[in-house]
Each structure stands twice: as structure tokens, then as C-alpha cells.
Structure 1
């Protein structure tokens, strides 16, 4: 006979997770219905972030350079997230770890130089 009592904590955890996630989804919707915030009027639909009406459709196309800059930011953000644990563990990884990180940084540097040469970082 299989002892299923060991799975009780897991089932309890999953049950609490389902209840909390359901509450986080449906409770704000219920509160907004009760407070009347679901009835938009001209004041609620007015521009509040920048203070003036948008001059283009919000679903318009973006210039591809926007995406290139965003991808570059993500790449160098990931580089920083790799550098911190590497610096902490450099004592244990030794010259092999140092060499591997220098190869990684050289590849990223070549990518940045290529991006710069192609004009992906120029903004008009």
C-alpha cells in the first residue's frame, strides 16, 4: 500500500496557491464593480500620463532601432548578471574561469563594435 500522506503538504501548498491566485485575479475586479470604477466617463478616459492627446494611433509601428536598442540593453544587462557571480567565485574558478569570462566579454565587445559600426546605436 502506498503512503499518500507525504503528498498532503504539497496538495495543501497547491490549494493555497490556487486560492490566492484566484483571489488576486477576481477580487480587484469585484471591488471595481462595487466602487463604480467600471463606468467610464470623459474625465476617466482623458490623458493622464503625458497631459496631451496622443498624435498617433497607439498601435502604430515602431522603428526597428527601438528594438535593437532594447535587445542591446537586455544583452548587457545579462552580462552584468553574469559578472557578479563570476567575480564572487573567481577565487574558486581560477585561471580557467577568468579565461572563460574574458572570451565571453570579447564576444560581447565584438558584438557591440559590430552594432556601432552598422549604426544601430545612432538615433535621429
Structure 2
């Protein structure tokens, strides 16, 4: 009885493992479907084309300010828990440094996206 149950279980598991191989249909692969998609790159050109520096700068600025927003979100809780002037001055200095960096990027033209 136990041998019959084990053999049925083995046959069912083998059928279930072979089922995707039997029923799968291979779609016709065209050039667009098999080409890799990379943001900012044309996959049909040579790989020696230069990378867009403006795209890179915008991505780096986004990452920097994204991390800074994560640091700015708990600031109201910090102010409510610590009511001393040093904490408030530290937060104002932090925001001032962020604005100074943004102004520097603006003056250097990293925020100008020209086509």
C-alpha cells in the first residue's frame, strides 16, 4: 500500500515537472524584444557612444537630494523633543548647506536640460 502511494506520488510529481516543458510555446523573438533596454542609451548603436553627462548629473543630484529629504523628514520630531537653540541652529545650518549646494549646481548649469 505504501509502495503504491509513493509510486503515484513520484509519477504525479514527474508529470507536474514535465508539464511546462510540454506545453510551453516559444514565441518568435524579434530584434526589439531581445534587445536590452537601458535608460539613456540606444541599444542599436555602438557601445562606444559617449554617455550623456547631463543625464548623469541629474541622476546624482536626484540621489543626493533624495537622501537629504530622508534626513529632513524627522526634523519636526527632533525640534519637538529637544527644545534648545543648538538643535534649531543645527537644522538651519543643514538646510543652508543644502540650499548652497543647489545654488552652486544652478550656477554651474547642471540643472539646465537643453535638447
SS at match of 2:102: helix
Structure 1 position 104, deviation (Å): 0.9
Rg larger in structure: 2
Q: Distance in 2 between matches of 1:99 and 1:40?
A: 63
The answer to whether the aligner puts 1:122 opposite 2:112 as a matched pair is: yes
Give, in angstroms, the shift of residue 41 of structure 1. 2.7
Matches within 5 A, 1:18-33: none
CA spacing shift, 1:78–1:55, aligned 2, 3 Å: closer
1:42 aligns with 2:32: no
Distance in 1 (alpha carbons) for counterparts of 2:55 and 2:110: 9
For the residue of structure 1 that corresponds to 2:74, the secondary structure is helix
1:85 corresponds to which of 63, 74, 80: 74
CA RMSD of aligned residues (A): 3.1
Shift of residue 40 of structure 1? 6.0
Runs of 5+ consecutive residues of structure 1 not aligned to the other structure: 1-29
TM-score (norm 1): 0.55
Greater relative contact order (CA < 8 Å, ≥ 6 in sequence): 1
Residues in 2 aligned to 1:71 and 1:63: alpha-carbon distance in whole angstroms: 13
Per-residue displacement from partner, 1:37-73 (whole Å, max 9, x unpaired)?
7x56335x53498xxxx57438443211111111111
Question: Any unmatched runs of 5+ in structure 2?
Answer: 1-16
